[in-house]
Amino acid sequence: MDAPVRSVISPGRYVQGPGAIARLGEYLSAIGRTPLVVADDVVWGFVGHDVEASLTRAGMTATREKFHGIPSAGEIDRLTAVIRDTGADVAVAVGGGSTIDAVKASGYLAGIRWVSVPTVASTDAPTSALAVVYTDEGVFEEYRFFPRNPDLVLVDSQLVANAPATFLAAGVGDALATWLEARATAASGSLTMAGGTATLTGTALARLSWDVLWENALVAMDAARDHVVTPALEKVIEANTLLSGLGFESGGLAAAHAVHNGLTAAPQTHGLAHGQKVNIGSITQLVLEGAPSAEIVDFIEFTTRVGLPTTLTEIGLRPEDTEEIQAVARAATVESETIHSMPFTVRAEDVAAALTSIERLGRRVRERAGLPEPQPYRHAH
């Protein structure tokens, strides 16, 4: 058997700043000449003009294809066919993590290059060499891995500031998990998404993401609510997108994201943002670890102040929903899940117990800190 290697992977170029969308054509011209731009109708409504103008200045025509909402196998195959029919040589995803994952997967299948243009800082999907694929109903199905990362990730921080602040909060939830999972992966010596064991670089970037967020997230959330770009917001956008992306991919995933994937098996949680469910996964991981009480209390207080769910109530579940919680726990512990990167054995019954316990825990911490009562989440459908 070959000796294990350590590996770091990253996008070819990362660009961030207010008004960066105006320079998309400039950066894109070094990658391809016939782009296919994929965006849903809402995103295209507020950014389409800027994208078209930027590509026109670079001597390119923007051919736009609508994204239908879920990165399912069917949607990926449909986009792959569109790429081939249009003769595009680069696929450009403009929007959130679902759009970006669908474009990465279809770009790979079509044999062309791909670019991420996130309009929110809600996940670390834009930088990675993998896509999360769901069923048409929104249930986690699989990870798909690709031999390279996006050639370009371009983030217009003013677009991020213009978006509802809840998207930024979700990105903080996703990014805070990066260090919790990277330290667990390093402790167990498990493989990372980069195809080797964790590097010092990947683990350090995961820790840096955590430190930047604890220092800046609350101030950045105020800027996002006022739709203005500040130094704190720029730092949080970078932490949510680049540092978290590099940290999770080359540092490792563990229980928090496995619990997220498991939660997609409960229909009550559908409609929640990725990072909202990941935050519940992070608290569950801390409970599974038997982390010091002070660490758990600080995490619950901080993420509640950010605007993230810290109880089952806020994701549509209750401790007495035994059947659903057991289904979540079984899905989170299937053989292929990243929960097995934890430095100890985790069984489905362990996950169910930890997940059930966070309702009372979260309510107690919030009450003592004078934080608001949890509000029930009900999926619109």
334-350: pLDDT as tens digits: 999 999 999 999 999 99
Q: Which of 85, 274, 321, 350 is catalytic?
A: 274
CATH number of the domain at 241, please. 1.20.1090.10
The predicted model gives 240-248 an average pLDDT of 96
DSSP 3-40: PP-B-----S-EEEETTGGGGHHHHHTTT-SSEEEEE-
On whether 174 is known to bind a ligand per the annotation, the reply is: yes
End-to-end CA distance of the chain, in Å? 50
Is residue 130 marked as binding?
A: yes
* Arithmetic mean of pLDDT, 221-225: 98
| 274 belongs to an annotated ligand binding site | yes
Residue 40 labelled as part of a binding site: yes
Q: Is 174 a catalytic residue?
A: yes
Please count the structural domains in the chain.
2
Average pLDDT, integer, range 147-159: 97
Which residues span the domain enclosing 102?
A: 13-161
Residue 1 pLDDT > 80: no
Greater model confidence, 138 or 10: 10
Tokens 């003769």 -> residue:
87
Q: Rounded mean pLDDT of the chain?
A: 96
d(CA 341, CA 120): 29
Which one of 260, 270, 379, 381 is the catalytic residue?
Answer: 260
Domain limit, last residue, from 161, 194, 218: 161
> Is 119 a known ligand-binding residue?
yes
Tell me whether residue 328 is exposed, middle or buried, using C-beta atoms within 10 angstroms of its C-beta: 0 to 12, 13 to 18, 19 or more: buried
Does the active-site annotation cover 41? no
pTM for this predicted structure = 0.95
Q: What is the DSSP secondary structure assignment for residue 292, as one 8-state letter?
A: -
Looking at the fold, whether 307 and 275 belong to one and the same domain comes out as: yes
**57 and 74 in a common domain:** yes
Tell me: do 144 and 211 sit in the same domain. no
Whether 208 and 180 have beta carbons less than 8 Å apart is answered as no
Quick: pLDDT tens for 198-220.
Answer: 999 999 999 999 999 999 999 99
The predicted pLDDT at position 62 comes to 84
Residue 6, domain member (yes or no): no
Percent of the chain with pLDDT over 70: 99
Residue 128 is assigned to a ligand binding site = yes
Please indicate, yes or no, whether residues 342 and 211 belong to a single structural domain of this protein. Answer: yes
* Model confidence band, residue 2 (pLDDT cutoffs 50, 70, 90): confident
77 in a structural domain: yes
* Euclidean distance between CA atoms 269 and 135, whole angstroms: 15
Query: Which one of 77, 85, 222, 257 is the catalytic residue?
Result: 257
Identify the domain boundary among 161, 186, 211. Answer: 161
Specify if 3 maps to a domain.
no
107 and 229 co-located in one domain: no
Would residue 227 show up in a list of annotated catalytic residues for this protein?
no
**Same structural domain, 200 and 138:** no
| Catalytically annotated residue among 49, 136, 156, 174 | 174
Helix (H) or strand (E) holding 140: strand 140-145
* Continuous segment of H or E residues that includes residue 154: strand 152-156
pLDDT digits (tens, 9 = 90+) for 267-308: 999 999 999 999 999 999 999 999 999 999 999 999 999 999
